[in-house]
């Protein structure tokens, strides 16, 4: 029997303790202070007379105001803007048993609760959802062996190789300190100044300039653990591993013009999309995959496994799919859960361990230090969203906001007064033991020469993209660098791009009015004052692999229109059959229909029946949907032809390469749009697969429209030039 949404919510809640403080029937609740004292008057402060001074002794006022004053905690320095959801994770089989002893990764009978938080990196909490930015993808697994946090991004590589440079990167990409501008954007002087002097950033910069940086939905983006970790089995043998999340809806993005307009139309676009999908029962799903490398193969690649600016191409080491995560419950309280959840890559379980990746090593300190500041002290693990389902027994005591009331006379080890408890756990009992890696080296401030290849993987990434993706990347570079008003910085970046691909550099230079100068060996400024600069020059590596199809979104999953948003443009007198038949066909495939009309409320169709309007043209735009359908109806089409925003809807959706279907005389709306001029007014011989002109009476009409929506976009339109919208 298929479990319902409520069943899943209830099952998930059984594993996570019910931490609600309001246990009474809500209809019988009486207002109280935080100490439980019932309040007689919550509308007036205590005064010396009706018009007199407020009295200091008004403890109810002081408690209420004090709590209000402290309702905002320091936001995250990065990843401040986030959205989260509860769910479950389950492995398909025990195929990883030979690699790891982590029970949640090898026992298909276990259903592990998770909380996943998605985020942008650069913006503040109040920024919009679709800036050009990296997206955080962090998952907290509440396993029976303790919490495990996989804290990653939607891009498999990072900007820097050593954690000591992280403050510099963030200071550079954040709003400039003299004027706090721009918000949530990398298109400004300081970021590109840092990039131009740090060639190690180029791989992540290529991803940032690609369509990966403007996802269609949080539900339609990949996730990566970024670092190389270790899996440890029962015998203590280790294998290197990279972690992947693959969305079952495919990996899809918007286009840049669309992203900018979405940020104006609905700054909460991604957050709303995630929330509504889960509320509607369309639970987002990702398959979990691993790339496993034997320890003896650590040095067989032409890149360093410990370098966080490198990925392992899937064509070299395939991703082995081992399980699935389903997000099936929205938070009950955004602040208590999404805002207070505390991730840390150092939250491990037996069977998973670190490597010497220098960026990862720094994160192991940074995350705990951050939570101490953000969440008020060392007891952030007692906040409900952070509590493990595994029992906690240790000798840690006291501190700000301590929740647990510890009993007993001892808080130290060893002891005899409590018979030695809590006692240490043997490895065979689930005790964690760090991997015994031999360390024999001098103390140095240096970087391995194997990290100095900065350009071969950016070249691989560019060569792997489809033609539309490459064109969008060029436009992104031109937009970003066009916002940089220091010519020397722009020129230095073009010089770095020329090391990736000369053709790409020429296109970017043309867009900026620059010349591509004779490529010079770029200087890497990431070395110490007394270091020999020659030791830190980039090295040239020729990748054996010329392209990796897995890196292109053109090769992602297509055809699934579940949860896709379809706008129906209608007015009074819309043909009832034209509207109903297409609506039924789309909803049967899991799509969501939004009825858009000149006014809110209801309109009447051709049969005189009321049709509920979801949005008016005043409050809605084409950038908020995936496709458009215009039903037939003489009266309706006449009204829409005289509604400029309806015509603009068509033009803008066409500009953004979306599927459009018009039934019968609805073609008249297309004839007065710029789309008709774009097609030389030859609408009878349309060759654009994404523009369907037909009749709802033809059974293939709705099928072809569904197929077109499943294609996501029709980027071949971009070859013919733009239309104004």
Task: Give SS3 for 706.
Answer: helix
Q: Are 321 and 287 in contact (CB under 8 A)?
A: yes
Q: Which helix (H) or strand (E) holds 115?
A: strand 112-120
Q: What is the DSSP letter of 627?
A: E
Place of tokens 């081992």: 322
SS3 414: coil
609: left (phi over 0), alpha (psi -120 to 50) or beta: beta
Is 656 catalytic? The answer is no
- Intra-chain end-to-end CA distance of the chain, in Å: 49
- H or E stretch at 566: strand 565-569
CA 682 – CA 151 distance, rounded (Å) = 52
Q: Which position among 12, 153, 263, 330 bears the catalytic label?
A: 153
CB burial string 438-463: b at 16+ within 10 A, e below: eeeeeeeeebeebbbbbbbbbbbbbb
| 435 to 236, 240, 645, 722: CA distances (angstroms) | 8, 12, 63, 57
Sign of CA dihedral 81, 87, 93, 99: positive
3-state SS, residue 292: strand
153 in active site: yes
Measured at the CA of 278, the angle between CA 325 and CA 29, to 5 degrees, comes to 115
Q: How far apart are CA 576 and CA 598, in angstroms?
A: 17
Token digits of residue 545: 């692999």
Q: Do the strands 229-232 and 610-612 form a parallel or antiparallel pair, or are they unpaired?
A: unpaired
Q: Give the separation between CA 499 and CA 314, rounded to whole angstroms.
A: 24
CA angle 353, 355, 360 (to 5 degrees): 100
Assess whether the previous peptide bond of 679 is cis (omega < 30° from 0).
no
Catalytic residue among 79, 252, 344, 656: 79
Round to whole Å and give the CA distance between 249 and 227.
25
Dump strand ranges (E) for 314-370: 320-329, 352-353
Burial of 528 (0-12, 13-18, 19+ CB in 10 A): exposed
Catalytic residue IDs: 79, 153
């Amino acid at each position: 029997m298929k479990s319902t949404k409520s069943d899943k919510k209830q099952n998930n809640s059984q594993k996570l303790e019910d931490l609600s403080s309001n246990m009474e029937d809500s209809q019988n609740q009486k207002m109280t202070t935080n100490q439980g004292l019932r309040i007689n008057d919550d509308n007036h402060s205590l005064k010396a007379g009706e018009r007199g001074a407020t009295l200091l002794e008004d403890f109810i006022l002081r408690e209420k105001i004090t709590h209000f004053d402290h309702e905002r905690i320091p936001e995250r320095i990065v990843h401040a803007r986030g959205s989260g959801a509860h769910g479950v994770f389950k492995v398909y089989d025990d195929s990883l048993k030979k690699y790891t002893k982590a029970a949640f990764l090898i026992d298909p009978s276990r259903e592990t609760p998770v909380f996943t938080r998605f985020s942008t990196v650069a913006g503040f909490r109040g920024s919009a959802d679709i800036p050009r930015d990296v997206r955080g993808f962090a998952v907290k697994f509440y396993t029976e062996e303790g919490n495990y946090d996989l804290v990653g991004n939607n891009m498999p590589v990072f900007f820097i190789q050593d954690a000591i440079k992280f403050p510099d990167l963030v200071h550079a990409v954040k709003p400039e300190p003299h004027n706090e501008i721009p918000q949530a954007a990398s298109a400004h002087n300081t970021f590109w100044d840092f990039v131009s002097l740090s060639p190690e950033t180029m791989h992540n910069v290529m991803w940032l300039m690609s369509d990966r940086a403007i996802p269609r939905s949080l539900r339609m983006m990949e996730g990566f653990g970024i670092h190389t970790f270790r899996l440890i089995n029962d015998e203590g043998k280790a294998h290197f591993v990279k972690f992947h999340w693959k969305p079952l809806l495919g990996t899809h993005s918007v286009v840049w013009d669309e992203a900018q307009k979405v940020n104006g139309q609905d700054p909460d676009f991604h957050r709303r999309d995630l929330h509504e999908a889960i509320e509607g029962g369309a639970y987002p799903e990702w398959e979990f995959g691993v790339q496993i490398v034997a320890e003896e193969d650590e040095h067989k690649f032409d890149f360093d496994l410990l370098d966080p600016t490198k990925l392992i191409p899937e064509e070299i080491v395939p991703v082995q799919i081992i399980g699935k995560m389903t997000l099936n419950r929205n938070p009950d309280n955004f602040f208590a859960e999404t805002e207070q959840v505390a991730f840390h890559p150092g939250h491990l379980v037996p069977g998973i361990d670190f490597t010497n990746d220098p960026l990862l090593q720094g994160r192991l300190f940074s995350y705990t230090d951050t939570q101490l500041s953000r969440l008020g002290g060392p007891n952030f693990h007692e906040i409900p969203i952070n509590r493990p389902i595994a029992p906690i027994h240790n000798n840690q005591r006291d501190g700000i906001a301590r929740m647990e009331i510890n009993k007993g006379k001892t808080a130290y080890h060893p002891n005899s007064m409590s018979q030695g408890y809590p006692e240490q756990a043997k490895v065979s009992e689930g005790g964690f033991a760090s991997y015994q890696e031999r360390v024999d080296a001098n103390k140095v401030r240096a970087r391995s020469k194997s990290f100095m290849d900065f350009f071969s993987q950016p070249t691989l990434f560019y060569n792997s993209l489809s033609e539309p993706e490459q064109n969008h990347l060029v436009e992104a570079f031109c937009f970003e660098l066009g916002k940089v008003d220091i010519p020397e910085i722009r020129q230095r970046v073009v010089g770095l791009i020329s090391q990736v691909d000369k053709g790409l550099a020429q296109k970017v230079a043309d867009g900026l009015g620059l010349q591509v100068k004779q490529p010079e060996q770029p200087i890497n400024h990431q070395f110490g004052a007394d270091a020999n600069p020659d030791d830190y020059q980039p090295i040239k590596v020729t990748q054996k692999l010329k392209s990796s199809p897995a890196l292109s979104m053109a090769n992602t999953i297509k055809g699934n229109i579940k949860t896709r948003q379809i706008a129906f443009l209608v007015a009074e007198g819309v043909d009832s059959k034209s509207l109903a038949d297409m609506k039924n066909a789309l909803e049967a495939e899991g799509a969501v229909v939004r009825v858009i009309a000149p006014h809110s409320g209801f309109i009447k169709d051709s049969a005189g029946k009321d049709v509920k309007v979801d949005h008016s043209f005043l409050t809605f735009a084409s950038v908020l949907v995936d496709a458009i359908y215009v039903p037939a109806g003489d009266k309706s089409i006449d009204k829409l032809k005289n509604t400029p925003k309806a015509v603009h809807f068509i033009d803008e959706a066409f500009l953004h390469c979306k599927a459009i279907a018009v039934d019968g005389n609805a073609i008249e709306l297309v004839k007065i749009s710029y789309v008709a001029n774009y097609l030389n007014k030859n609408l009878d011989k349309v060759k654009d697969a994404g523009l369907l002109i037909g009749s709802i009476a033809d059974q293939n009409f709705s099928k072809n429209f569904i197929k077109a929506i499943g294609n996501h976009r029709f980027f071949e339109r971009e070859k013919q030039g733009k239309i104004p919208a």
